[in-house]
Structure 1
Amino acid sequence: MRHRRPRLAYDLWLHGENTADWQDQPTDEIMVWLNRQGGAEPLGSKVGRVSLGGAMWDIYEGDLGWKARSCVRVANTSKATLDLDYFTQALVRRKLLSNDKYVSGIEAGTEVFRGTGPRHQSVLGGHRLKPGLVRRGSSGGAAREDW
C-alpha cells in the first residue's frame, strides 16, 4: 500500500487573448481545491474567504510568473457539484481577476505532493476547449460571498 498525501483540485488556465494555445504562458491560473491533506498548502497568501455553492472557501493569491489564485475548501470533500464560473465571478467582483480574460483550459484531478503514487488527471483544453470570456454579471443568486 502506498502512502500518499494528495490534493484534489481543478485548475483553470486563463489568457488575455482568445487565440491562446497550450504552449502560451497563461496570464492567470485559478485552482479550486476540494480536498487537501497532509499539509498541502496553496501558493501565496490568504486574501479572503467566500461562500460559494454551499461551502466556505479560503482564497489565496501568489505568483508563478503569472497570477495564481487558489480557492481552498475549508472542509474537505471527495465530491461536489460546482459551477466553476462562480469562482471566476467571485474573483472578478473582489478585483482579484480582470473581466477581460479567456478560459483556455481546465484540468481536474489529484496531485501527490508528498510520498509516492500516481497523478490522476483529466484535461480539457488547448484545441478541444472553446475559450470563453470571463465576464461580469450576476451568478443568479446561487452563490453568496462573505469576504
Structure 2
Amino acid sequence: MSIMKILSILVLVLFPLSSMACSSPKAGFGYPMEKLIDQSKNIFLVQMVSVAEEGFTNTYSLKVVEVLKGNAPEIINFVNYGSKYQDNDFDNHNNIKFWVKDNIGRSKWPCCICGPDHSFKKGVNYLFFPDLLGAIKSAEIVNNKNDKWYKFVQKRINQ
C-alpha cells in the first residue's frame, strides 16, 4: 500500500475523533485549588433535591445549604452526561493524594464534555464552585464541617 493511501486512511479515521473532541474546556480547567477558591465568585455547600433522567443525561437540582462566598440562587441545575456516581471523599480530604495533585478529585473527566462529569446523590453535601466547573475539585463531597477541604476553603476565603 502506498504512503498516500495509508495517510488518507489515517486522516479519515482520525478526523471524526477530532470533531468530537472538546474545543474549549469549561471555566476553571487546570486551576490549582488556591486559584479555584480565589477566582470563584460563588462557593456553596449544596445538596441534591431531585434528578431528572433523560437518555444519557441527568439534570440535577441542587439546593444551597450554605453560602461560603457570593450570592446563591434558590436552586442550581447541573447536567451530567452519564458518569456513575463517585463517592470518594478522600477520607474527609485527609488523604495526601488529594492535596499533592491538582488533577485529582472525586469526579471523572470523560472524553468530549469539556469538564468533570459531576454526579450527585440525595442526602450528601458537596462543596460546589458553579462558576468554575472545569476544575476537577469543583464538586467535592463534604460529609461534615470537620472535612479538611471545607476548612481549607473557609480559611482561604476569610484571609
Work out which of the two has the higher radius of gyration on C-alpha atoms and give 1 or 2.
2
TM-score normalized by structure 2?
0.23
**Higher RCO structure, 1 or 2 (CA under 8 Å, sep 6+):** 1
Task: Please identify which structure carries the higher strand content.
Answer: 1
Task: Please identify which structure carries the higher helix content.
Answer: 2
